[in-house]
């Protein structure tokens, strides 16, 4: 599946952004989809994931209560609503898709087979 992430930008601390990940190609509803992020000089980090039918979304502790992931299979799109943004949320955000994921693997980047190109999120005053 081909993925296209969008919606990044520059926002002040406390602000909000909504990222989108549009998919094309194979049946999107068959895929588990995740969001990862990578800040300069740091490893890629799991942010959130949602299973193909039910289960989730699941979040890394640092974004719980601030970020909400959702999917619209009819539109082949997943979203990441990010509220109360902090400077430490600054990173390139990637969406990724995979099949055969289980709960114990959703935080691993190597469990996902297809990746979008990334969208920059910068939180700064």
SS3 content of the chain, % helix, strand, coil (to 5): 15, 45, 40
Compute the chain's Rg from CA coordinates: 13
Q: Given pLDDT bands bounded at 50, 70 and 90, which one contains residue 122? A: very high
- Write down the H helix ranges in the chain: none
Q: What span, in angstroms and rounded, lies between the C-alpha atoms of 55 and 105? A: 14
State pLDDT tens for residues 64-120: 999 999 999 889 999 999 999 999 999 999 999 999 888 899 999 999 999 999 999
Predicted pLDDT of residue 5: 97
Predicted pLDDT at 63: 98
Q: What is the mean pLDDT of residues 10-37?
A: 93
Tell me how far the alpha carbon of residue 13 is from its chain's centroid: 20
């Amino acid at each position: 599946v081909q993925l296209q992430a969008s919606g990044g930008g520059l926002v002040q601390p406390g602000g909000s952004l909504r990222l989108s990940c549009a998919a094309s190609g194979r049946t999107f509803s068959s895929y588990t989809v995740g969001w990862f992020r990578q800040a300069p000089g740091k490893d890629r980090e799991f942010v959130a994931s949602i299973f193909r039918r039910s289960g989730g979304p699941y979040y890394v502790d640092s974004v719980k209560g601030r970020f909400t992931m959702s999917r619209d299979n009819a539109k082949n799109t997943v979203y990441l609503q990010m509220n109360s943004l902090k400077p430490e949320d600054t990173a390139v955000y990637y969406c990724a898709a995979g099949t055969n994921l289980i709960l114990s693997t959703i935080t691993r980047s190597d469990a996902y087979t297809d990746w979008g190109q990334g969208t920059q999120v910068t939180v700064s005053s």
